[in-house]
Structure 1
Amino acid sequence: MIHPASRLEVVVHSRADGRSAVKSAAYTARTSYRDERLGQRFRAGKRGGLLSHELINWNGDAEALWNTAEHAETRRNARVIRELRPSLPAELPLTEQVRLVRGFSLWLRDEYGVAVQADIHAPRFLDRDEERRHNAGKLATDAQEYLAALFDPTRTNRNFHAHILLTTRKVRPETGAFGDKTRILDDKKTGPEEILRIRREWQKRTNAALKRIGSPARVDLRSYEDMAKAGDAPTGLIPQDHLGPRRAERSRRLEDDGGDTSVAGQRRAEIQAHNDELWRTWLQWRALQREKDRLEESARIAAEREAERKGKAGAEKRRLREVKTAMEAEATVAASAQFDSVRTASMWELAISSAQGLSPEPPCEEPDEFSAEVDLETYEPPQGRLQPEPVLTPKVVRVRRRGPRHL
């Protein structure tokens, strides 16, 4: 099965869609920023759940970064932010999650020259009241208890994830100036190739982090089609449509109230059931195939060893046919692997004769009644001679004593 954290979504924020870089950054940072271009302050609807916040390749604060990014664009439909939304494996402790996101953000800076805002968000609490207090930042608990609760599968969905915001232009951190557009990510030809490279880098780094902590879990960001072609997944898996924040929240409310009976919810449930059945049958088939391969490999090894044994036996027989003296015969038979160690000349002669094909091997002893197989249901004991009845009456024998002999 695919690891639940095998997801990295790429979203481009454009003014044509009514997006603002400042607004998006305020939401992921769980704070409020003022957009100088629009003259409007944006506040995050949620104030809790921010586990980490970092800026890469920028010397000021995040509000200044994204206002500068907005001022650098003049077109009405300009792209102002490129956002990566990777899921984080719940097997990783928070310190390892922060290390993973920071290292990946530094790689993005080095590869594309962009500034990066990286925020890690906490999972959602399963209890509705607890989640409401969590979003409001009013969950009364200390830091250790809070972290323990986040990783508890009975209290949260353990959906740790990051929001990695990239500028769409190269940035000079010394001066704070924005340079050229990152056309390599926007181009119709090179853009998909670069996004694929970004996904592979994230997968490599995530799996390295899992390996570093000794976890056997691994993420796989390939498409279902590519996984099936490589033999790592069943054919026919259907990808689920990603839900935005509003649709996901609506679906959660319906599930809490008894089930998502909407058309979209039923469609998602059907796809999930279809994929689960494909995975179940495919895993069973893989197990049978592995057992078949194991048996075939065992048969191949046995055949190779039997052929090797026959080859050695043939060579030993040839050596026995070529001996000229009894001493040579004795030494050859003693060193042979196919004959038992012998001690008499007659047995040496039998071995030599067998090797030369002059006589068959010594016959086995005739089977007796003790070596034959016995059917306990039909077995009758053999009829032997009748034994005489034992004599139980003691017989007294009189002994005549003689007197002493006189000389």
Structure 2
Amino acid sequence: MAVYRCEVKTLNRASGRSAVAAAAYRAAERLRDEQANEGKGKVHDYRRRTPGVMHREVVAPKGAATWATQRGQLWNQAERAENRRNSVTAREVLVSLPHELDDAQRAELVQAFALGLVDRYGVAVDLAIHRPDRKGDDRNHHAHLLMTTRRIGPEGFTEKTRELDDMKNRGPVEIEAIREMWEREQNRALQRAGIVERVSRLSNEARGIDREPQPKLGETATALMRRGEPSRLADRWQQVVKGNAKPGRAPSPMRQNMARQAEQRRKERETRLAQAHQPGGAVQRALQAAQQVRPPAPQGPTHIAEALMRSTSEAQQGEQDKQQALKDEARKLDEQRAKAGELEAARAWERQRQAELRRKRIEREQAQQNEQDPGRQRTLPGPKKKPD
């Protein structure tokens, strides 16, 4: 079963990460980081990982500098272009690949996605397709795409891709655009391969699917689960998988409410359409209005078709307005829930803080009493004497 996964991350120099080291690791190559160790350099050799890399390639914009497709030069130039200690030197996109495709089809899919990123942002993209781990799930085909944080032209790097750095406004929009791009390219690849399944970037709740989302395990929990070692996150993951597999699983109250609302909107839409075609409805009113405005016009099929098109357009616009209002209302409800959660967390933290203050006050009072009456601290009850 094809799955959707598209994560966008950053490589920050402040956390001790290097774009050269990341590129060497993902491509299973030997690269020298010229900027490391205060300019003395450091070699990153990951050639032992070569069997796990199915395909590696650097894609750059047309007319870019000649060194833009040379992995070592590209990332050393990227490190050299940033002067701040907390600079973001690379951006990574991690995607899961359909195991139903063969190696050539997966390579074509990732190349198409990389070209889309290059065309949209004018950056260089270093892609590496990894095979599944020998000790893990044999369906875990995935790819790492390292993007430069600056656009690149004939003379080298130019301005930063600020639209991706602006996490308050444009950033989330661009991230969603990248996720949508990957959804589109993956579904195209599945269609070309004759596979019926499709993937979606939307959540189960947004698609109306009554299935609890599986928690993300991460590298540590996955490794523990493979070794058979206990992990609360792995136990929770298995619990969710088993719960979703139950045929008689009852929908949650929230999903039941969503289903009722969707059914109610469907009935209202059908009612409006039926009323529009009744005498005195929107369609009939549109025909009468057209006759009053242009009485000399011929009452032929063309005239009626135009009136029907106008009325249909009005009905569609009204439906779109209503859907937008429902989305706005849902968004406000989500914001209220988030604020309520934040308020409850703040209250819990305040209660914990007050309890800690009370505990310290009691300890301080006891210490003061012991200082005022030292004998109290040393006086302890002795053993009871046995009766004669």
Residue 251 of structure 1: aligned partner? 225
Instruction: Name the TM-score, length of structure 1 as normaliser.
Output: 0.55
> Could you list the runs of 5+ residues in structure 1 that have no partner in the other structure?
128-155, 255-259, 294-407
Q: Percent identity?
A: 37
CA RMSD of aligned residues (A): 2.6
Residue 103 of structure 1: aligned partner? 112
Residue 186 of structure 2: aligned partner? 206
**C-alpha spacing 1:240/1:279, structure 2 compared with 1 (3 Å):** farther
Residue 268 of structure 1: aligned partner? 237
**C-alpha spacing 1:264/1:242, structure 2 compared with 1 (3 Å):** closer
Q: Give me the whole-angstrom Cα distance separating, in 1, the residues matched to 2:86 and 2:45.
A: 23
In the TM superposition, residue 83 of structure 1 has moved relative to its aligned partner by 0.6
**C-alpha spacing 1:225/1:191, structure 2 compared with 1 (3 Å):** farther
Determine if contact 2:32/2:43 at 8 Å carries over to the other structure: yes
Q: Give me the whole-angstrom Cα distance separating, in 2, the residues matched to 1:106 and 1:239.
A: 31
**C-alpha spacing 1:212/1:23, structure 2 compared with 1 (3 Å):** same
Give the match's secondary structure for 2:152. strand
Q: Give me the whole-angstrom Cα distance separating, in 2, the residues matched to 1:170 and 1:73.
A: 13
Q: Note if 1:50 corresponds to 2:53.
A: yes
Q: Note if 1:234 corresponds to 2:210.
A: yes
- Cα deviation per residue 1:295-328 (whole Å; 9 max; x = unaligned)? xxxxxxxxxxxxxxxxxxxxxxxxxxxxxxxxxx
- Cα deviation per residue 1:95-149 (whole Å; 9 max; x = unaligned)? 111111111111111100110001111112248xxxxxxxxxxxxxxxxxxxxxx
Q: Note if 1:195 corresponds to 2:197.
A: no
One-letter amino acid of the structure 2 residue matched with residue 240 of structure 1:
P
Residue 14 of structure 2: aligned partner? 16
Q: Report the structure number with the largest CA radius of gyration.
A: 1
- Cα deviation per residue 1:175-218 (whole Å; 9 max; x = unaligned)? 3x111110111112111111111111111111111111111121
Residue 123 of structure 1: aligned partner? 132
1:339-350 aligned at under 5 Å gives the runs none
In the TM superposition, residue 81 of structure 1 has moved relative to its aligned partner by 1.1
Give the match's secondary structure for 1:54. strand
**C-alpha spacing 1:22/1:206, structure 2 compared with 1 (3 Å):** same
Residue 41 of structure 1: aligned partner? 43
**C-alpha spacing 1:157/1:180, structure 2 compared with 1 (3 Å):** same
Q: Give me the whole-angstrom Cα distance separating, in 2, the residues matched to 1:198 and 1:213.
A: 23
Q: Give me the whole-angstrom Cα distance separating, in 2, the residues matched to 1:238 and 1:182.
A: 33
Aligned residue pairs, count: 243
Segments of 4+ moved more than 6 angstroms: none
1:348-359 aligned at under 5 Å gives the runs none
One-letter amino acid of the structure 1 residue matched with residue 51 of structure 2:
G
**C-alpha spacing 1:18/1:274, structure 2 compared with 1 (3 Å):** farther
Q: Give me the whole-angstrom Cα distance separating, in 1, the residues matched to 2:108 and 2:195.
A: 16
1:5-404 aligned at under 5 Å gives the runs 5-38=3-36, 39-44=41-46, 46-57=49-60, 59-60=66-67, 61-126=70-135, 157-172=138-153, 174-175=154-155, 177-188=156-167, 189-227=169-207, 231=208, 233-234=209-210, 237-244=212-219, 246-254=220-228, 260-277=229-246
> Could you list the runs of 5+ residues in structure 2 that have no partner in the other structure?
264-388
One-letter amino acid of the structure 2 residue matched with residue 31 of structure 1:
E
Determine if contact 1:23/1:35 at 8 Å carries over to the other structure: yes
- Cα deviation per residue 1:69-88 (whole Å; 9 max; x = unaligned)? 00011111111111111111
